[in-house]
Amino acid sequence: MPCRAGDPSGAPDARGPHHHSHRRLQRRHLLRDYSADIYCEGETITRIERAIDPRGVAPGTEVIDAGGKYVFPGFIDPHVHIYLPFMGTFAADDYESASKAALAGGTTTLIEMICPGPQDEPLAAFELWKSKAERLAAVDYTFHMSVVRFEEAVQGQFREIVGAGVASFKVFLAYKGALNLSDGDLFAAMKLAKDLGVVVTAHCENADAIDALQRALLLAGQTGPEWHGPSRPPTLEADGVHHLCTFAELLGTHVYIVHTSCDAAVREALAARYRGVNVWVESVIPHFVLDETYAERPEFEGAKYVMSPPLRGAANQAVLWNGVKSREISTIATDHAPFRFKDQKQMGTDAFTKIPNGIPSVQERVDLVHTYGVCAGRFGLQTMVDACSTQAARLFGLYPKKGTIQVGSDADLVVYDPAFRGTFSLKDSHSKVDYNAYEGWERRGRASIVTVRGQVQVRDGKFVGTIGRGQFLRREPTHF
Ligand code: URP
Ligand code: ZN
Ligand code: ZN
């Protein structure tokens, strides 16, 4: 049986929305592998039993035979950018393309960052971002609300946004002059988050030091994409994590470090956790499988691989994989931030500081984790599901509606074929970018059938869903 390395329970044939056979039941952490029939009525899972008698189900019920496949809860990507005005341009996707990409990769829920500019009104930004999703989403979605300004006049707006169901903030310690907050505003925003029970997600890199390093590099004529990494070394990310965690320690605010890329930053987060800080770590798939040499590729191709924090030395990858295995890294997200190579990445031909940051990965994430995590023997399927679905649901107030297969949960299911063999390629991509960062790489496994609230959205890996069916997920604060 393929792809069982690291998963000694060997239960590759959990059965899908309806059908037979029992193997064995195994507990690991709180998760289990087992074979069963899953019955969905309307949008909800209503029965999970060893064998449901087909004579007892409603006429017209579709039976999906998941024999030989896995059935996973719909995957959740807790860090994506879809509508994103950034670095002088706009990210290339909309909710239609991003939903199709997500679903083709088994992801049924997206959490998008609302990233307004420092002049924008927060409430207007929230409405704008919601309007971008409303008619085009085929996945369910919610948002993290970025706090890029926090003077007294706008503070009430953040309370209103939380009241409207957005129970997480985003702060940037990076992007000087564009998105980063002063320490005074950061402290005050984190205080409000604590009062409201809202978790603060944070991009941790020291903005001022990066600015100084960038200026020095450009002055020395070091303008190519290969200099993006040296302008933002691991120590500045670790410094950002330390800084955020210091405020969290003083205030009791719960914090979630996004796209943690390197050993030094992971260590800072864990050191804070051992001091008692409520801190969780996210890492994103590009940092697990791509290293800094990609950004050094000639002919400006390195620009495809410019993201922040930058791709790191290869030694960091084992730290991330092992951090997931030990569950010290809670989630594997993408930081999907799509910019075309031919015209958008090219904005930085004369200075790496003008290359729009981001590596689109929303379609590839789960298959990359399966291929290079599970099949490579780094960890088992339960860990993959926990890191790619369950933990995001738990941390961001979506559990047990999302992130699990339970009676009463939304019928977001992925029938996953571990025997599928192929390659990652632009020709299969739904994202509106003109390159695939993983072009030609080996791919083991794919989402064969994907349902969102009981409706099939992907069949045989192809999108068959309904644009606009995605729902905004209201979330209550849980981080008190
Ligand atoms: O390179 C990245 N990460 N682009 C998107 C913006 C951000 O920092 O998350
Ligand atoms: Zn970021
Ligand atoms: Zn991001």
Q: Do residues 146 and 169 lie in contact, with contact meaning Cβ atoms separated by under 8 Å?
A: yes
Return d(Cα 276, Cα 273) in angstroms, integer: 5
The one-letter code for the residue type at 335 is D
- Ligand 1 centroid–CA 445 distance in Å is 28
List % helix, strand, coil for the chain (3-state, nearest 5).
35, 20, 45
Average pLDDT taken over every residue of the chain: 93
In this prediction, residues 127-147 reach a mean pLDDT of 98
pLDDT digits (tens, 9 = 90+) for 351-399: 999 999 999 999 999 999 999 999 999 999 999 999 999 999 999 999 9
Q: Do residues 149 and 118 lie in contact, with contact meaning Cβ atoms separated by under 8 Å?
A: yes
- Return the residue whose CA atom lies nearest to atom 8 of ligand 1: 308
Of all helices (H) and strands (E), which one includes residue 183? Answer: helix 183-196
Q: Which residues pair with 141 in a beta bridge?
A: 110, 472
Confidence of residue 25 (pLDDT cuts 50, 70, 90): very low
Confirm or reject: Cβ of 146 under 6 Å from ligand 1: no
- Ligand 3 centroid–CA 113 distance in Å is 7
pLDDT digits (tens, 9 = 90+) for 398-447: 999 999 999 999 999 999 999 999 999 999 999 999 999 999 999 999 99
- Of the candidates 43, 101, 104, 112, the residue with the CA atom closest to the CA atom of residue 77: 112
> Cα(first)–Cα(last) distance of the chain, in Å?
45
What is the three-class DSSP state of 129?
helix
Please say if the pLDDT value at position 215 is more than 50: yes
In this prediction, residues 142-151 reach a mean pLDDT of 97
- Ligand 1 centroid–CA 64 distance in Å is 39
- Ligand 2 centroid–CA 337 distance in Å is 10
Return d(Cα 42, Cα 53) in angstroms, integer: 19
Confidence of residue 54 (pLDDT cuts 50, 70, 90): confident
How many DSSP H helices and E strands does the chain contain?
A: 12, 19
Q: What pLDDT sits at residue 18?
A: 41
* Local structure of residue 448 (DSSP, 8 states): E
What is the three-class DSSP state of 105?
coil
Ion ligand 3: residues, CB within 5 A, are 335
Q: Do residues 43 and 30 lie in contact, with contact meaning Cβ atoms separated by under 8 Å?
A: no
In this prediction, residues 245-263 reach a mean pLDDT of 98
Confidence of residue 31 (pLDDT cuts 50, 70, 90): low
- Of the candidates 476, 469, 467, 417, the residue with the CA atom closest to the CA atom of residue 444: 417
Confirm or reject: Cβ of 260 under 6 Å from ligand 1: no
Cβ neighbours, 10 Å, residue 66: 25
Q: What pLDDT sits at residue 1?
A: 23
Confidence of residue 129 (pLDDT cuts 50, 70, 90): very high
Q: What pLDDT sits at residue 194?
A: 98
| Cα–Cα separations (whole angstroms), residue 295 to 228, 306, 439 | 8, 6, 15
Ligand 1, residue 81: give the atom nearest the CA: 5
Helix H, strand E, coil C: the string for 351-368 is CHHHCCCCCCCCCCHHHH
